[in-house]
């Protein structure tokens, strides 16, 4: 791959901030492979999909516009939160730890409002998700929450 075009656009950059989470994975198709090939990295913003992946089914973050997303993604969220319970982990920590598996991703941007939330977020560093999930970004996304996923109930 020729990195000249990317180098011209990002001549002074070594990273780019992009929306990326278990719900929003489209950058895995072309952006992450191109950045990785050119030695650039991505910092993920909204890694919890505006709170949707932080335990919204359990009501921990189901406020405002997130409620509409919860209804839209209910079957997928139920499976995701069930997996988190099986792992014995908070949904937010699993979502953050998952972003740390991505080779071209420097890390997620988090926005804890309290010291307790920050302490919880730091726990994601101790999760070994690579044992249950293959590394994202190595191929096209298998599915994303709310983007063309068919549930078994439909």
Q: Is residue 65 a part of any domain in this protein?
A: no
Q: Is residue 71 a part of any domain in this protein?
A: no
Q: Is residue 95 a part of any domain in this protein?
A: yes
Chain segment 38-76, per-residue pLDDT in tens = 888 889 999 998 888 888 776 555 556 777 778 888 888
Q: What is the pLDDT of residue 47?
A: 92
Q: What is the pLDDT of residue 150?
A: 37
The structural domain count of the chain equals 1
Tell the residue number behind the tokens 């050119």, with chain if given. 38
Q: Does the pLDDT value for residue 88 go beyond 60? A: yes
Q: Is residue 126 a part of any domain in this protein?
A: yes
Q: Is residue 127 a part of any domain in this protein?
A: yes
Distance in angstroms (rounded) separating the CA atoms of residues 95 and 118:
14
Q: Does the pLDDT value for residue 147 go beyond 50? A: no
Cβ atoms of 57 and 77 within 8 Å: the answer is yes
* Domain extent for 45: 4-49+90-131
Q: Is residue 40 a part of any domain in this protein?
A: yes
Mean pLDDT over 19-31 rounds to: 88
For CA atoms 35, 46, 137, 141, the dihedral sign is: negative
Q: Is residue 149 a part of any domain in this protein?
A: no
Q: Is residue 11 a part of any domain in this protein?
A: yes
């Amino acid at each position: 791959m020729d990195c000249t075009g990317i180098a011209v656009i990002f001549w002074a950059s070594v990273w780019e901030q992009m929306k990326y989470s278990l719900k929003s994975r489209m950058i895995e198709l072309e952006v992450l492979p191109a950045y990785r090939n050119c030695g650039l990295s991505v910092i993920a913003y909204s890694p919890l999909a505006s709170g949707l992946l932080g335990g919204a089914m359990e009501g921990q973050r189901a406020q405002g516009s997130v409620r509409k997303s919860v209804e839209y993604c209910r079957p997928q969220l139920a499976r995701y939160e069930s997996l988190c319970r099986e792992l014995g982990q908070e949904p937010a920590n699993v979502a953050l730890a998952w972003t740390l598996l991505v080779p071209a991703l420097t890390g997620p941007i988090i926005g804890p409002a309290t010291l307790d939330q920050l302490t919880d977020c730091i726990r994601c560093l101790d999760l070994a998700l690579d044992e249950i999930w293959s590394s994202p970004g190595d191929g096209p996304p298998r599915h994303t929450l709310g983007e063309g996923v068919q549930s078994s109930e439909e």
